Structure 1
Amino acid sequence: MVIKKNASSILCSAALTVMLGLAMSAAAGEQKLTGAFDVGSAGNAQKFNPLTAPAGFSFYNKYFGTLALYDVGLQKIGGDLAQSWAYAKDGKSLTLHLRQDVKWHDGKPFTAADVKFTLELVKNPAMASVFSSRLKDVSAIRVLDAHTVLIELAQMDATLPDAFTSIMMLPSHLLSHIPAGELRSSNWWKAPVGTGPFKWTRYVPDQFVELAANPDFYRGKPMLAKLVNRYFKDASAASIALQAGEIQFSSMTLDQVRENQSTRAVDVIAGPSHVLNYIGFNNSDPRFKDVRVRQAILLAIDRKAIIRSIYNNTAILGNCVLTLPQYVPADINPYETSVSKARALLKAAGWHQTEALEMLTYYNDQASKDVVTVLQAMLAQVGISIRPRFVDGPTFGTLVDANKFSLVYAGGGNGPDPGTLIPLMQSSYAPPRGVNRMRVNLPELDQLFSAAQQETDDARRTALYQQMCRLTNAQLPWIPLWVGERFGGFARNVQNVIWTPSPGGGRYQDFPERWSIR
């Protein structure tokens, strides 16, 4: 968990919050915070449909709202637009009780009809939402009254509250007349109406989006008059702007953090990314079918040396697809580096390589380029030749979705609930249906995902996820490497900002209405 300075005024007593509000109110009308919210792996620059976006939530949730959000430590889920919820005893339904003091930016009340509309839109195949898999067990959505929603389930799904932290609510009264397929591609987002603390006011392509304070926000009018998301071609340009005082926030790479150590121009804060970096391979490629080949790749890599020399020990080893300590049992294989064992396994598997394997990655910062270069050298020691290819995120997605890849160096967001891995690893979500881009197909893994979704007892659910860790440690559907820290840079005059790295960004309560500039 990472909290910006003066966070105590955000999270403690109401009296202190009021005092802070009084102190800053005179200048609040003049305050504007500009950030590069879409720089880095959690960004989603100039993509404005939140139902089709796998990332970018750090800025989406400044003008849209979700039913639920995590706390800043990504440990506990609490209500946002939903005040509370409860499962039926048989697990076949979930009742949501909504806040009654929420208005859309056009002044209309937020109601159960909006929840029904949004969740049905997510489930509609014509929308092709990235979250459709998270609602696969939702059989019906019923409005009981203006502020109560009943979600009927084919079977218990304990991961729904986690899904609700990602799904932005959309206004039924403005969008329900537009077919789902058109909503995916139409320009409704040029004047989006949400429930968040800021209202959309202006968009200049390739330059910025400007938001203005929402005076009717249910937790109170924001202290900032404006919030701006400025676009940059790359992280280096954003870092230069941050150091020069042109913007007040940006994600930073490890290289930029090192550069800032001498100047101390900005405050840098760090936290675990909750993202597992891994080598993925095309599971439909017969060259990788033998588990001994996959084991050899992992054994050939000196991960500890990479963490020490490139990451300056700001990463921790990962040995299965899960990363939270409670889900990682002590009895899994640590895969200590052994070039000799790797060579023996490849020989036993009959490995024969006639041409270099392309390793595709969307990571373009210098540290990641150094990592790929070292991976290339380490794998060459056991007779596996790698040819790196660095592309942008959209190109990466296009290539892997079209099955035009051999190996990737990528990251998989775990988040606080392992259910987030379902669309990434369950066999039924291989493209084009979902984002199981590595074409993982392990029936036992599918069964564990399903069993964990239906389990309400925390201890038994944890045991299922530990078994999932053991399975993926043995079978290596992904080749796990490490979980790194991520970094955020803030101008020194920024106050009361809460920030923590999170997969896709922004699925936690960061109280942007309390942000201010000193």
Structure 2
Amino acid sequence: MIQRIILACLLGIGGMISSATPAIGQSNAAVRGTVVLAIPADVSVPVPVVGLPYTHVADVTDQLFLRLGFLKSSFRTVGDDALTPMLARSWRRVDSLTLAFELDPRAMWHDGAPVTTHDVMFTWRLMVNPAVGADHAVIEPIAGIDSTGVRTFRVRFRRAFAEQLYLIGFNLQPLPAHLLERVPVDSITTSEYASAPVGNGPFRFERRVPGEFVELRAYPAFFLGKPTIGRVVFRVIPNPATRLNLLLSGELDVLEYAPPSAMAQIRAKRDLRVVTFMSNLVLYGRFNTRAPGDTSRPHPVLGDRAVRDALVSALDRGVMAERIYGRNASVPGAVQSVSWSWIRPVRGTAGATSRSAVRAALAKAGWRDSDGDGILDRNGVPLRIGLLYPETSAVRHDFALQMQAMWRAVGIDAHLERLPGPVGSERLNAGRFDVEMGSVNQDASPMSLTQSWSCASAREARSSNKTRWCNPEFDRLLANAITGKDPVAGYRVALAHMARETPAAFLAAPYNNIALHSRFENVQVWPVKAWTSLWQWRVRRGAELPRDR
């Protein structure tokens, strides 16, 4: 994956956390500086592997728990030099199916215990436990891990492929065996440890006020270097409009995906600056190919690829994306963010086909306006489609409104189903929907498509493949790309096949407009695991706010 533009922002903001902000203790005297960020939901279990697999959860856990290695600035995931060391000091290739690792002897848990191979082995057992890990399709290529010493181990793979190092090194975040191995697996998420985890990263867990915030403190003895930010506060703010208002009032320091409609307000603040950088976000309207409520049968409308093709052709996706993101978004042909541009550029504009051509295509599939009411029908059944999305997402609502209008213009009756999160999740899990207005923050490698766009994920109840899309040819092409000699070319072929099969209307691959508080220096933000370098930020001398001291 290509590098997210590294930000080095010399900005200035004058606000401080107001009385509306939770009463949070002053920052560490030895390490000054506080960063206040927003997350859309609470993080009840700030522990990798056992916690929920959501981006906002990883935003927190990545500050507490290190990976074996992190991607280099190119963000390519291919080769034995794809990572830079973090928890692992080094690795070497034993043969085409085996990598040997050595942990950094300086690494320690925040309680002072050393990080050892025992922690790696314990965590691996959790990852492969069906009761814990949710994305087994991703780690399927790993045959096992063998201990070879106190700080050394070998990873065995089922087959040779170019992203072996990335797969294990980037995705394994060891947990402390000495604190967890006596806790029953099904009790870890409700254990005392889960409420106050002990990690090995640059920040240690300070406290969590449910529904309000999670507070982390710098760990001065961090073996990769003393953090230059003393405190991080993740505030739980589900509503995007509220986040914007808190940024403008000085209560937040960072706002990701700042809306274009708010640019004038943000730029009018002398203490804020907007920087645009690469993103791993993709938005789509994903078609349910299985019958709502009965996934054993094809969807009566969307199971027909000709209908899906016509639905996409009716949308002027370039216009839709520009109305929401301005010129900071492209329209991908498949599920590809701009951060995967190392595979192929995302430069599409995707205008609509003429209405007459769309109607002709639908008529060929049997859909005509037989009663003159303006809505196409077949055998007396109107062409009616529901668009399901969470009530908190203003962006998805805006896309849904545009889709509704453009589909109505060709005789398709689209109704909006804007639901509370838990209700929408229940509908998605049960398969009782037509179109999922969704989005995804993509992993660094297209290898992760096995999690949500494969036949294996379609069969896994807890996977993110809620539409149960299963295309054996795509699976074959993706597997060939993963194991082939030229993964980049292979991924191109696989994504092109996905585009032809139309599993979704891919709406936008936006860049990220980030609004930053101006007092921060040495700012780095990445397209995947965005806040990995947060511990290296610092507050410019003389620009401190009261909450920094």
Q: TM-score under structure 2 normalisation? A: 0.82
Q: Distance in 2 between matches of 1:442 and 1:467?
A: 14
The C-alpha deviation readout for 1:50-70, integer Å capped at 9, x for no partner, is: 223232222211111111222
Q: Is residue 323 of structure 2 the alignment partner of residue 309 of structure 1?
A: yes
| Among candidates 460, 483, 495, match of residue 469 of structure 1 | 495
Partners of 1:309 and 1:380 in 2: how far apart? 19
CA distance in structure 1 between the partners assigned to 2:390 and 2:64 by the alignment: 28
1:259-298 alignment, distance < 5 Å: 259-284=265-290, 285-298=299-312
Aligned residues, how many? Answer: 488
Is 1:85 the counterpart of 2:85 in the alignment? no
User: Partner of 2:178: helix, strand, or coil?
Assistant: helix
Q: Cα offset for 1:396? A: 3.5
Residue 419 of structure 1: which of 416, 431, 447 is its match? 447
Three-state SS of the structure 1 residue aligned to 2:523 is: coil
Report deviation, 1:434.
2.0
Q: How far apart are 1:292 and its partner, in Å?
A: 0.8
- Who is 2:21 aligned against? none
CA contact (8 A) 2:42 2:236 kept: no
Question: What is residue 478 of structure 2 aligned with on the other side?
Answer: 449
Question: Could you list the runs of 5+ residues in structure 1 that have no partner in the other structure?
Answer: 8-25
**8 A contact 2:64–2:205 mirrored in 1:** yes
Aligned to 1:182: 187
Q: Structure 1, residues 186-240: CA drift from partner, whole Å, max 9, x if none?
A: 4421110111111112211122222222121012222233222222242222222
CA distance in 2, matches of 1:60, 1:391: 28
| 2:511 counterpart (479, 485, 499) | 485
Distance 1:287 1:87 in 2: 51
**453, 473, 498: which is aligned to 2:524?**
498
Structure 1 counterpart of 2:146: 142
SS in 1 for 2:511: strand
Shift of the 328–233 alpha-carbon distance from structure 1 to 2, 3 Å rule, reads closer
CA 1:78–1:437: 2 relative to 1, 3 Å: farther
1:381 alignment partner, one of 409, 418, 428: 409
Write the distance in 2 (CA, Å) between the matches of 1:256 and 1:146. Answer: 53
1:104-158 superposed Cα distances (whole Å, 9 cap, x missing partner)? 000000111111111221110011x234322112222111112211112222354
Contact 2:318–2:351 at 8 Å: present in 1 too? no
| Structure 1 residues 54 and 95: CA distance shift in structure 2, 3 A | farther
Q: Tell me, what secondary structure is at the counterpart of 2:301?
A: helix
CA contact (8 A) 2:36 2:251 kept: no
Partners of 1:47 and 1:399 in 2: CA distance: 24
Contact 1:319 / 1:480 at 8 angstroms: preserved in 2?
A: yes
> Offset of 1:73 from its aligned partner?
6.0
Aligned-residue CA RMSD (Å): 2.8
Contact 2:273/2:518 (8 A) holds in 1: yes
Segment of structure 1 superposing worse, 463-472 or 243-252 = 243-252
Amino acid at match of 1:139: A
- Partner of 1:425, secondary structure, is coil
After TM superposition, the structure 1 = structure 2 runs for residues 291-370 of structure 1, keeping only pairs within 5 Å, are 291-323=305-337, 324-328=340-344, 337-351=353-367, 352=378, 353-354=381-382, 356-362=384-390, 364-370=392-398
470-479 vs 46-55, greater mean Cα deviation:
46-55
Most deviating of 276-285 and 46-55? 46-55
Q: Is the 8 A contact 1:197 1:222 kept in 2?
A: yes
Residue of structure 2 equivalent to 1:219: 224
What percent of counterpart residues are identical?
A: 24
Gaps of 5+ in 2: 11-26, 77-81, 291-298, 368-377, 544-549
1:196 partner letter: G
Provide the rounded CA distance (Å) in 2 between the counterparts of 1:385 and 1:214.
56
Q: Would the aligned equivalents of 2:311 and 2:407 in 1 still touch at CA under 8 Å?
A: yes
8 Å CA contact 1:497, 1:512 repeated in 2: no
Q: Partner residue of 1:53?
A: 53
Alpha-carbon distance between aligned partners in 2 of 1:326 and 1:219, rounded to the nearest angstrom: 29
Aligned to 2:371: none
More helix by share: 1
CA contact 1:2–1:73 (8 Å) conserved in 2: no
